[in-house]
Amino acid sequence: MKFLCLAYFGPDAFAGYTPEQMRAVDDATIAHDHKLRQSGHLLFASPLADVASGTTIDRRRLKLSLVDGPYAETKEVVGGFILVEARDMAEAVSLFDDDPIAAHCRLEIRPLIEDHRHSETGEARPEFRLP
């Protein structure tokens, strides 16, 4: 099974960190990603650019609307994601027991729906791949 782990950060998650401390956090998370890759679990991981650099698309009223930044109801924002493969939710959760970024954020782990097909053609979604 594939699981998407979303890392939610509060606005002051790294308040007061020096550039050296931030580098240490980055280095630790990169090392953890390599550990997950070596164990055969990591498919892809990436931090996200600052929330101010994004945009939100809203088509709920059948009219395309763009809004600067993804403004959620909470002050937390998604700051990164990790796509992993695991036997089940218990194994997926265990992969983050020693994840260094977990000390700075809230992690949400959700299974992907992998066998979702077009209702008329039976065609599946395109497979995951990086260019």
User: In terms of residue numbers, what domain contains 8?
Assistant: 2-111
Structural domain contains residue 56: yes
Structural domain contains residue 99: yes
Structural domain contains residue 63: yes
Structural domain contains residue 104: yes
Q: Identify the CATH number of the domain in which residue 22 sits.
A: 3.30.70.1060
Domain count, the chain: 1
Structural domain contains residue 22: yes
Q: Across residues 10-22, what is the average pLDDT?
A: 94
pTM for the full model? 0.82
* CA diameter of the chain: 55
Quote the pLDDT of residue 131: 62
What single letter denotes the amino acid at residue 33? D
Q: Residue 42, SS3?
A: strand
Structural domain contains residue 118: no
Q: Across residues 17-21, what is the average pLDDT?
A: 96
pLDDT in tens, 29-73: 999 999 999 999 999 999 999 888 888 777 776 666 555 555 555
pLDDT in tens, 80-94: 999 999 999 999 999
Structural domain contains residue 126: no
Structural domain contains residue 90: yes
DSSP secondary structure code for residue 128 in this structure = P
CA 93/CA 22 separation, integer angstroms:
25
First to last CA, the chain: 23
